[in-house]
Structure 1
Amino acid sequence: MTSDKKYAALLRGINVGGNKKVPMAELRTVLEGLGHAGVRTYLQSGNAVFASARTDPDALARELEAAIEAHFGFRVPCLVVEAAYLRAVADACPFPAAELEGRQLHATFFSAQPGAERFAALGGTGFLPEEFRLGDRVVYLYAPDGLGRSKLGEALARPAVVKGFDVTTRNWNTVVKLVELTGPDSP
């Protein structure tokens, strides 16, 4: 398994309000059934890490979506990202993550790089003190009162911004934990 790459699977919209229930033990079984090793889950909101000899994250995501649909009977959008990408996202954070609470900082992951023009209408000072920055297939969002109260977070989720992409958001605590779980020292 030493040549296997580590990945994180980010599932969108499961276990929220009693909808699309995906027990983490069953998700681990689905991932193991696809031949992945070292499968672990984090929280109940659709975060899993695994190792695979395969090297195409998009193909891994489509395969996982199909397996989830076959197992649970509903479609769940999935993003699969490499451990090195997760580390790069954490390292490139334009906000002082160490000084903020995890609920104040979020990363919205995109399936491909969105063009800056999608975000042009959201610039300026209209959302202050909330701010966002565009990164590599990620939007960093600073929302001092949390995502649930964030007007900017709401605007960043509008179809004009996200249409044509699979997207999912994680708070900074989850990003940090996924970096740790996919790191070189993790099993």
Structure 2
Amino acid sequence: MTFLVERMKEDFRPYLSSVIPAVTDRLGDSKDAVREKAQLLLSALMDHVLSPNSMFERLLPAFSHKNGKVREEAMTCLQNTLTNHSATSVTVSRLIPHIVKLLSDPTALVRDCAFNTLVECYKHYGERLRADLTKKHSVPPAKLPGLMTRFDDVRDTGLMFPTAMTASGIIEGM
């Protein structure tokens, strides 16, 4: 089995440049089943072919895709990746500006997903994310108090992951 996975890794690489944009477009499909399968394929590719960090480098255009559902699903993919692969597998500092921009998206579902994605990131990265959001990024003034309150709630209820508590987890992951 290991041999097959390693073989797939090398044999599939030439197709990534055509497969990932097509899968990204499927994230915006009107059918739930199609979107779920696209998410599963992205997850399988992260498990066997590309590192999560490399995958999100290729998925950056999805955060500004013309279809709002694609933007929403890209953030859902990030949330799932953080949960399944840990905070150290993705450099979120490169993605945070895109997510912050989506807090002002014209689509309400995308705005809500951006908010929830930042909360999920906070669970993994802790106070470093809070500091970055207040100092480096232009979070919409109307969203910042609610976001900080939600961060406090997450911290106070003990929903933080160990990577948020350790300095090395924050530095490596961000």
Q: Same fold (TM over 0.5)?
A: no
Question: TM-score, normalised to structure 2's length?
Answer: 0.28
Higher strand proportion, which one?
A: 1
Higher relative contact order (CA 8 A, sep 6+): 1
Higher helix proportion, which one?
A: 2
